[in-house]
């Protein structure tokens, strides 16, 4: 129980830190890439001439900024909500089911976001690394964030199935809740069953 909570804290906290770093790196690249840039052209008759051209950043860089902001909101919510409901003591079976399904869906979507980010960026760089260290750092943190959310999806599903035990809201076993409900139903039906009338044979007296 304690081990899973430590693992979840570590994964979510690391994801939050990496997302903040990724936001800073990708925003810096977008700011440096976009705007007016001075270019030099050469003509055989007039020689060198200077001009300005306005460049727009590639769509993948803008999507990296969005994915970083999205990840920050997701990790903060995933850290605060279970702690709040568990401390409040109002964790019901329905709330746990809703939070579990929401966490799995959001983690999976975030995992797909980072898979698309680093795959598209690697394709933009020609399938390798860049001479610019900022691009390499963005690519590396994108891969790490993808791996972190793969781990979060796996641990959340294992907690839902009861393989790992946790008292966090959204990470409690759904199998345990179904088993308790089934036992309560069977006990209730046993009490509601009418008492039978038994006839004793004379030779058993």
Tens digit of pLDDT at every position of the chain (205 positions): 677 888 889 999 999 999 999 999 999 988 887 755 555 665 666 656 665 656 677 888 899 999 999 999 999 999 998 888 878 877 788 888 888 899 999 999 999 999 999 898 888 877 666 667 888 899 999 999 999 999 999 999 988 888 877 777 778 887 655 444 434 334 344 444 443 443 444 434 3
pLDDT at 95: 85
pLDDT at 25: 93
> pTM to 2 decimals?
0.75
Token pair for 96:
């746990």
Boundaries of every domain in the chain: 2-161
Q: What is the C-alpha separation between 187 and 190, in angstroms, rounded?
A: 5
Q: Give which of 104, 110, 29 is closest to 72, Cα–Cα.
A: 110
pLDDT at 51: 54
Location of structure tokens 């279970």: 82
pLDDT at 6: 87
Pairing state between β 35-43 and 47-55:
antiparallel
Half-sphere exposure of residue 132, counting CA atoms within 13 Å on the CB side? 12
CA distances from 115 to 91, 120, 146 (A): 33, 8, 6
Q: What is the C-alpha separation between 146 and 138, in angstroms, rounded?
A: 12
pLDDT at 187: 39
Let me know: does 94 contact 112? Beta carbons within 8 Å: no
Q: What is the C-alpha separation between 160 and 103, in angstroms, rounded?
A: 11
Q: Percentage helix, strand, coil, to 5, in the chain? A: 70, 10, 20
Give the Cβ contact number of residue 146 at 10 Å.
Answer: 20
pLDDT at 165: 78
């Amino acid at each position: 129980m304690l081990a899973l909570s430590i693992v979840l804290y570590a994964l979510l906290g690391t994801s939050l830190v990496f997302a903040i770093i990724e936001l800073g790196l990708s925003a810096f690249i977008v700011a440096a890439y976009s705007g007016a840039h001075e270019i030099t052209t050469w003509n055989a008759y007039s020689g060198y001439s200077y001009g300005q051209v306005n460049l727009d950043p590639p769509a993948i860089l803008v999507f990296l900024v969005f994915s970083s902001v999205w990840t920050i909101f997701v990790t903060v919510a995933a850290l605060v909500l279970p702690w709040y409901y568990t401390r409040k003591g109002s964790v019901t079976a329905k709330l746990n089911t809703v939070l579990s399904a929401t966490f799995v869906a959001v983690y999976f979507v975030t995992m797909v976001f980072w898979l698309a980010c680093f795959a598209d960026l690697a394709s933009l760089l020609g399938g390798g690394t860049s001479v610019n260290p900022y691009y390499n750092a963005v690519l590396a943190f994108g891969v790490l964030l993808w791996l972190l959310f793969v781990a979060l999806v796996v641990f959340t599903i294992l907690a839902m199935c009861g393989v790992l035990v946790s008292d966090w809201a959204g990470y409690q076993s759904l199998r345990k809740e179904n088993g308790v409900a089934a036992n309560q139903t069977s006990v209730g039906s046993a009490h509601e069953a009418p008492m039978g009338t038994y006839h004793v044979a004379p030779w058993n007296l």
